[in-house]
Amino acid sequence: MDQQKERYLITFKISSMAFKFENYCKRADIKVKMVPVPSKLSKSCGYACLIKKDDIEDIKELCDEKNIKYSEFYKMDEKNNPDKL
């Protein structure tokens, strides 16, 4: 799969962390897109953010610095199946 089509997600246990994350990413010029958590990951409501693979280390640092609690990072395959990183 070419890198343009690869999809990566960061998930959160509570929606407020997803919104906080999105806000701080915008301030840091890290492009993210808020999306519903895929049903293959959770049956409950919630939000995740699509991210770029190249931003993962910067995102981890941002989350530590801003006290943003995330659950996991995932790589999604072409059938939208999650693979935990």
pLDDT in tens, the chain (85 residues): 344 567 899 999 889 999 999 999 999 999 999 999 988 887 666 899 999 999 999 999 999 999 999 999 999 988 888 889 8
pLDDT at site 64: 97
Residue 45: how many other CB atoms lie within 10 Å: 8
- The total domain count for the chain is 1
pLDDT at site 35: 93
d(CA 80, CA 58): 24
pLDDT at site 59: 97
Closest listed residue to residue 68, CA positions, set 16, 28, 32, 29: 16
Q: Is residue 1 part of a domain?
A: no
Task: Determine the structural domain holding residue 39 and report its residue range.
Answer: 7-84
Residue 61: how many other CB atoms lie within 10 Å: 11
d(CA 14, CA 11): 9
Q: Are 8 and 77 in contact (CB under 8 A)?
A: no
pLDDT at site 57: 97
d(CA 73, CA 49): 10
Q: Is residue 2 part of a domain?
A: no
pLDDT at site 45: 63
**Domain CATH number, residue 47:** 3.30.70
pLDDT at site 13: 86
Tokens standing for 64? 């530590």
